[in-house]
């Protein structure tokens, strides 16, 4: 994985670009550093995390977009097939945006928080509950939370449906909502959101590596014990 940016790099700008001479969005830059074909959908990054990065890139103002550049190396090789990753990314987006977006967006994001918790519990094989970040976000918008609980009581979300539709829609709604929120520095919130989502996926990938290492070392340990 690349740990440093090259000395001469294209400037980050909004949208897609045909080549580095025309500029680059966040994920196009990642494809360049990863040695992949020039694309804003490179294989080196989890699809939903890449979608969030593209949205944050496009909704961050021109004045602050270059501050995203140091995050680019951290998404290279950051991918997993664990369906929990989509849930974690969507949950991070919803809980971050919920307290700051306009009221009309709070209703949908509150539902997204509850749906994320439900799907995560289903994947974990446990009863649904609220993680601290979800509870804190919902407590800050009691009217939206009350409406969301009533709405969710009659709606079921499948794992597949959440991954294909609900999670991407949540990320898009959250990023757009933050960018238009009446707060002092929406760009900083978007940058922190992407940073936190990257850390969430990094933690999942690290856990997968740990489990794989443990499984691979058990036969060797058993062989040594047998001798």
Q: Is the dihedral of CA 33, 37, 39, 42 positive or negative?
A: negative
H helix count then E strand count, the chain: 9, 0
Would you list the domain boundaries of the chain?
A: 20-75, 84-205
Question: What is the predicted pLDDT for the residue at 157?
Answer: 86
d(CA 132, CA 66): 32
Question: What is the predicted pLDDT for the residue at 226?
Answer: 61
User: Cα Rg for the chain, rounded, in angstroms?
Assistant: 19
Question: What is the predicted pLDDT for the residue at 153?
Answer: 78
With contact defined as beta carbons under 8 Å apart, do 47 and 168 qualify?
Answer: no
Question: What is the predicted pLDDT for the residue at 95?
Answer: 98
With contact defined as beta carbons under 8 Å apart, do 134 and 113 qualify?
Answer: yes
Question: What is the predicted pLDDT for the residue at 114?
Answer: 96
Q: What is the full per-residue pLDDT of the chain (227 aa) written as tens digits?
A: 444 555 556 789 999 999 888 899 999 999 999 999 999 999 999 999 999 999 999 999 999 999 999 999 999 999 999 999 999 999 999 999 999 999 999 999 999 999 999 999 999 999 989 999 999 999 999 999 999 999 987 678 899 999 999 999 999 999 999 999 999 999 999 999 999 999 999 999 999 877 655 555 565 555 556 64
d(CA 56, CA 157): 26
Question: What is the predicted pLDDT for the residue at 2?
Answer: 45
Question: What is the predicted pLDDT for the residue at 165?
Answer: 96
Question: What is the predicted pLDDT for the residue at 217?
Answer: 56
Question: What is the predicted pLDDT for the residue at 155?
Answer: 77
Question: What is the predicted pLDDT for the residue at 1?
Answer: 43
DSSP label of 24: B
Question: What is the predicted pLDDT for the residue at 36?
Answer: 97
With contact defined as beta carbons under 8 Å apart, do 8 and 19 qualify?
Answer: no
């Amino acid at each position: 994985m690349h740990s440093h940016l090259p000395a001469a790099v294209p400037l980050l700008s909004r949208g897609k670009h045909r080549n580095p001479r025309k500029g680059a969005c966040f994920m196009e830059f990642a494809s360049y550093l990863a040695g992949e074909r020039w694309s804003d959908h490179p294989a080196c990054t989890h699809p939903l995390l890449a979608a969030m990065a593209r949205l944050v890139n496009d909704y961050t103002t021109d004045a602050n977009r270059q501050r995203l550049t140091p995050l680019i190396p951290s998404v290279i090789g950051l991918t997993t097939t664990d369906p929990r990753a989509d849930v974690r990314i969507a949950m991070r987006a919803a809980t971050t945006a919920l307290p700051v977006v306009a009221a009309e967006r709070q209703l949908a994001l509150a539902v997204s928080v509850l749906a994320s918790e439900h799907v995560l519990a289903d994947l974990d094989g446990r009863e649904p509950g609220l993680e601290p970040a979800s509870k804190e976000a919902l407590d800050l918008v009691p009217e939206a939370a009350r409406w969301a609980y009533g709405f969710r009581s009659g709606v079921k979300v499948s794992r597949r449906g959440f991954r294909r539709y609900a999670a991407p829609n949540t990320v898009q709604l959250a990023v757009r909502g933050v960018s238009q929120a009446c707060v002092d520095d929406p760009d900083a919130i978007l940058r922190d959101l992407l940073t936190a989502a990257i850390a969430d996926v990094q933690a999942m990938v690290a856990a997968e590596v740990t489990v794989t290492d443990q499984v691979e070392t058990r036969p060797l340990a058993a062989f040594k014990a047998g001798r």
